[in-house]
Amino acid sequence: MGTSRLTILFDDPFWIGLYEREDGTEYSVCRIVFGAEPRDQEVYAYLLEHWRTLRFSPPRPGTEHLPPPKSPKRRQREARRMTQAAGIGTKAQQALKLQQEQGKQARLARTRQQREAEEARKFQLRQARRKEKHRGH
C-alpha cells in the first residue's frame, strides 16, 4: 500500500512543496519550487499538469514504516477535525454554493462594466465641455 503527502512550506525566499511518497519499503521525495505563495487551485493544477515530469529522488530502501496504532476515539476526533476544516457538504449544498459563486462573479463583472461605462460617459461629457469653452467667447 502506498501513501503520499504534499507539504507546502516557506524556504526563504521561495515557497516550496515537498511531495513524499512511500510505496511498501521504498521512500522517495520530490521538491517543487513555487516562487510566490501558491493557492490551492494553483497547486492542484500544477500537480495535474506536471505529474509526469516530477523528478523524484532515487527510492531509498528501508523497512516498511507503519504508524503506531491509534485509539478509535483519537481517529474519530482527527476525522471530525479534517472534515470540518475541509467544509465537506452534500452534493446539493455544493451545487448551490457553486451556483452562488457563479452569480457573484457575474454580478461583479456586470457592476464593473457599468462603472466603466459611466466613467467613459463622464469623460466624454468633460471633453465636450472643454471644446465648447474653446470654441467661442
State if pTM tops 0.85: no
Could you tell me which residues come within 8 angstroms of residue 25 by beta carbon, excluding any fewer than 6 positions away? 61, 62, 63, 64
- pLDDT (tens digit per residue) in 8-40: 888 778 888 888 887 877 777 888 888 888 888
Instruction: Place 66 in a pLDDT band, splitting at 50, 70 and 90.
Output: low
Q: What is the CA radius of gyration of the chain?
A: 27
Residue 30 and residue 57 in contact, taking contact as beta carbons nearer than 8 Å: yes
- pLDDT (tens digit per residue) in 69-115: 788 899 889 888 876 765 445 555 666 677 778 889 999 999 999 99
Q: Which one-letter amino acid corresponds to residue 17?
A: G
